[in-house]
Amino acid sequence: MPARLKALLLLAWALVRTLVRRALGKGRRGLAAFRANYDADRLPPVTAGERHELGQFGRCISCGLCDRGEAERILASSGRYRGIMALMVESSRSMPDFAAAALAFAEVPDAVLLEKEAGCPTRVPMRRVAAFVRAKALETSSTK
């Protein structure tokens, strides 16, 4: 049988099977399907509110202003924390890495993030980024 025909038959079979399963109310759908597919990759679902916020989390222009005065905390962290800019442009953008990012955020009190937000030229909502990372890190650790 030609490969193309075989592929079409497989595709058709998968479609029919999916439609029949749905008609019978079987199989995982929605959030359950998402979790079944992505929990192992440490990718939790986001709420509509979180999705809206995510658009504001990427405003960092890597100017480095928020790293002023962070040398002591960086040195004291034994490598867990590389400065606020690194948290805003790297660590907080990959959900599978949020467990490590949460450890880094633990080195910076929210009061410091509040101060840094005031000096940020693009008004990155640093405390909200930190809260999001911590919440998702907890979710991913509870799904292992």
Does 114 engage in binding with ligand SF4 (CB under 6 A)? Answer: no
Q: How far apart are CA 116 and CA 81, in angstroms?
A: 16
Interface residue with ligand SF4 among 12, 54, 63, 106 (CB under 6 A) is 63
Count other Cβ atoms within 10 Å, centred on residue 62: 10
Question: Among 118, 138, 136, which residue's Cα sits nearest to residue 44?
Answer: 136
Query: Is there binding between residue 62 and ligand SF4 (CB under 6 A)?
Result: yes
When asked if residue 124 is in the footprint of ligand SF4 (CB under 6 A), the reply is yes
Check the CA dihedral 116-121-123-125 and report its sign: negative
Q: 115 with 106: CB under 8 angstroms? A: no
Q: How far is the CB of 87 from ligand SF4 (least distance, A)?
A: 8
The only residue of 43, 120, 133, 137 in contact with ligand SF4, by rule CB under 6 A: 120
Size of the site for ligand SF4 (CB under 6 A): 14
Inter-residue contact 129 to 91 (CB < 8 Å): no
Considering only 11, 14, 16, 61, the residue that binds ligand SF4 (CB under 6 A) is 61
Distance, CA of 17 to CA of 33 (rounded, Å)? 16
CB 142, min distance to ligand SF4, A:
29
Q: Is 66 in the site for ligand SF4 (CB under 6 A)?
A: yes
Q: How far apart are CA 5 and CA 8, in angstroms?
A: 5
Q: Which one of residues 54, 65, 76, 114 is an interface residue with ligand SF4 (CB under 6 A)?
A: 65
Binding site for ligand SF4 (CB under 6 A): 60-66, 84-85, 88, 120-122, 124
